Chains A and B, each alone.
Chain A
Amino acid sequence: MATRMEQSASFAGSLKVQLRVLRALFMREALTRYGRHNIGFLWLFVEPMTFTLGVTALWTATKAVHGSDLPIVAFALTGYSSVLLWRNMPGRCIGALWANLSLLYHRNIKVLDIFIARLLLEFGGATISFAVLSVIFIAIGWLDPPLNLLEVVGGWMIIAWFGSSLAILLGALSHENEIVDKLWHPASYLIFPLSGSAFMVDALPKLAQDVVLWIPMVHGVEIVREGYFGARARAHYDLAYVLPFCLALSGLALMQVRQVAARVVPE
């Protein structure tokens, strides 16, 4: 018969349990979302890729004004991929707890694990989509390789950090307040045009620049573009603002998770 459950409380043991739980939740989440039909797991990044491709095509066709001399394909790819990253994360975490309440009967599964599993999946999908499209566009010559790959990664991680903290905060809040779900949809659409995806900060008047730089995603997108295009992007960002912002948001999110976890009733 099966082995006994271990009860060691050492850090290494706990870490092992934690990784095991996250892995199981991740696989379950991926299977539930994409199943085994037609292309299965490929949907993980094919779905965001079609989004980005569609927007790229639209913006190219309408010759969208973005106020720089960057090629429109490059502009759309960096911009819309970033949107998908920070916007889908809260979408997946809001209501995630209700859908998975029964899992809490397994003592090793904590509220935060449910969120993290979904975020990992979302991050993976958006990242693979961004990377694959970049490689394709570079290969067919629509895009130059990034000048500073590490900076692209850094900007991308900042957007992901912001998106994850926001997602966990909203996800935890949404468990007891239905209104979070109702407000997030309009809010995400309204923030989209302000998020730096559809414009370059440099092209804005000085007053507008000061305003949009309060929005944390803008910094991330600017960094990604600087990584890609270097000085041509004329990026505006402030790490001393965006990093503490994300840190504070993460702290808030974890506090909210702790509060919900104390009150949650498994069904």
Chain B
Amino acid sequence: MIRLDNVRKVYPTRLGKKLVLDGISFELRKGERLGVLGRNGAGKSTMVRLISGAERPSSGTVERSMSVSWPLAFGGAFQYALTGQDNVKFISRIYGQDVEHNLAFVQEFAELGPYLREPVRTYSSGMRARLAFAISMIIEFDCFLIDEIASVGDARFHARCNYELFEKRGDRAMVIISHDATYIRDHCNRYAVLEQGKLSFFDAFDESYEFFSQSIGLATSTVGLPVRATGRAEALSALYHLAIADERFRVHVQQGDWARDSHDWGKAAAEYGKALRLHPYERTYWAQLGHVLREQDHDTTAEICYRSACALGQPALDLQPFLAFVQARAYPDAPEVPIRSLERGATHAQPPSYPDLCILIRAIWGVAGIATDEAGRLLRAHATLDDLLAAILDDPRAQAGSPAPPDGSAAASLFDDSALFVVDAIWLQRLCYIAMPDFDTGTFDMSALAEDWPICLFNLIENHNGFEGWPKSSPKMAEFIRHARARLAVAVHESAHG
């Protein structure tokens, strides 16, 4: 049994003491597999180190009446200058075991072949993972600590690891921490969430995951982190990484994936939609959303998703067959419009995506949403952002567009509340990504655009070269600004004298 009693861990930092674990108490018996969910930096790895005995608690006690492994599949214990074989020998000597026997096991399990006699430095990351896991299996512990094992190796290796761990050693105690909630759901029988230094226990996975999701929802937003980019392809790549680093995003796509795997297409679409509302420029889940919408025969919306995914950088080759399929079903009589891919080059020459469309009509028409049919038509008809913007400016709604913020009574659209794409606090920043070729949130002061709408749009275009050099739309934009200014002046005059 392992017993933690009121364990606290405090780290000294430059900014004073940081409390990482605040009174953790639990007992773990043989056969119990505890899965721990928690955000990045919540202290999961610290807790594992305390349980393993590699580190000591600041106060409280850790009692072990069974042997406890080091964190599994952990490659750090290698000496990279040494060969795999030397590392196996080292571990065998440390734990007083038969070297030859262990070498034979590692040889068979890690499948490194002649590489076992080469320095670990020369291994690929997959080979390192296999060696690390094989070495971990040498010693028979009563309790295994498993830290992020799911993130390494290929599917076949996973299957063998799972067999070694959960079939052959299913009677042992385990503590599993992972970013991959699926892994914890499938392999644990007790669940806990580490949040704010406290560990909360749950009997069922769903309860723990719900608690975990809520704790992430409360976390401070990371959407507006500084991103420096020159050109659209680079900006999209930066925004993509921002998205996958955001745990709220990951929670939604995780739940979407689970729903998809159990063919609950409606829930999957809703979760992917929530994720994309946080990060509309993340490309891969536009494709996933397209797939689940296709399964529900929502062909027009699926088409929008596929086009957006591709416009944001997903490989066209993967999506073309799906696009052709939904397009043929949605518009059987119309000629097929091919998919268009993102390329390196000027922003205005790139294909438009659905979030671009929402943001541009928000700026020009002053509306928060757009009907699905019309959105699909616009994305199909216009090959570049420049074409699209010119069409939006030519539309009568650009002239009638109210210079006041949108009232939210927009037309029905792709999602029930797709208005969230544009009315949240950072829609203007997203407009800057489209309008300015070298946009850097680190140095660009958003307040330079002035807070009021539509003055901010005027400033963006007149003082910060927004949409400059877009062949078709730049002249139209200048004219639009002139008219909008005039309308604004009239409105101000009327309100002053009315």
Contact between A2 and B98 (Cβ–Cβ < 8 Å)? yes
Contact between A103 and B55 (Cβ–Cβ < 8 Å)? no
**Residue of B with least CB distance to A23:** B93
Pick out which of these stretches binds chain B: A50-58, A62-70, A181-189, A258-266: A258-266
Contact between B96 and A102 (Cβ–Cβ < 8 Å)? no
Closest chain-A Cβ to B182's Cβ sits at a distance in Å of: 27
* B: contact size bracket: 35 or more
* A: contact size bracket: 20 to 34
Asked if B94 is at the interface of the complex by the 8 Å CB criterion, the answer is yes
Give the contacting residue for B93; candidates A5, A7, A20, A265; CB below 8 A: A20
Closest chain-B Cβ to A177's Cβ sits at a distance in Å of: 14
Give the contacting residue for A105; candidates B52, B67, B93, B98; CB below 8 A: B52
Contact between A108 and B54 (Cβ–Cβ < 8 Å)? no
Give the contacting residue for A5; candidates B56, B74, B101, B140; CB below 8 A: B140
Asked if B316 is at the interface of the complex by the 8 Å CB criterion, the answer is no
A to B contact number (C-beta, < 8 Å): 80
A104-B54 contact in complex given A5-B139, A24-B94, A109-B94, C-beta closer than 8 Å:
yes
Contact between A24 and B93 (Cβ–Cβ < 8 Å)? yes
C-alpha spacing A3/B55, complex, angstroms: 26
Main secondary structure of the interface of B (DSSP, over half): mixed
Asked if B214 is at the interface of the complex by the 8 Å CB criterion, the answer is no
A105-B70 contact in complex given A31-B86, A35-B81, C-beta closer than 8 Å:
yes
| 19 A–B contacts from the bound complex (CB under 8 Å) | A5-B67, A7-B67, A20-B94, A24-B93, A24-B94, A27-B90, A27-B93, A28-B86, A31-B82, A31-B86, A104-B55, A105-B49, A105-B74, A105-B76, A105-B77, A107-B53, A107-B68, A109-B94, A266-B54
Given contacts A4-B140, A20-B94, 19 further A-B contacts (CB under 8 A): A2-B98, A2-B101, A3-B97, A5-B140, A17-B96, A21-B94, A24-B90, A27-B93, A28-B86, A28-B90, A102-B74, A104-B54, A105-B52, A105-B74, A105-B77, A106-B77, A106-B95, A107-B53, A266-B49
Report which B residues bind A (CB closer than 8 A): 11, 49, 52-56, 67-68, 70-71, 74, 76-79, 81-82, 86, 89-91, 93-98, 101-102, 105, 138-141
Shortest 7 CB-CB contacts between residues of A and residues of B: A24-B93, A102-B76, A105-B70, A266-B54, A107-B53, A5-B67, A105-B54
Report which A residues bind B (CB closer than 8 A): 1-7, 16-17, 20-21, 23-24, 27-28, 31-32, 35, 102-109, 262, 264-267
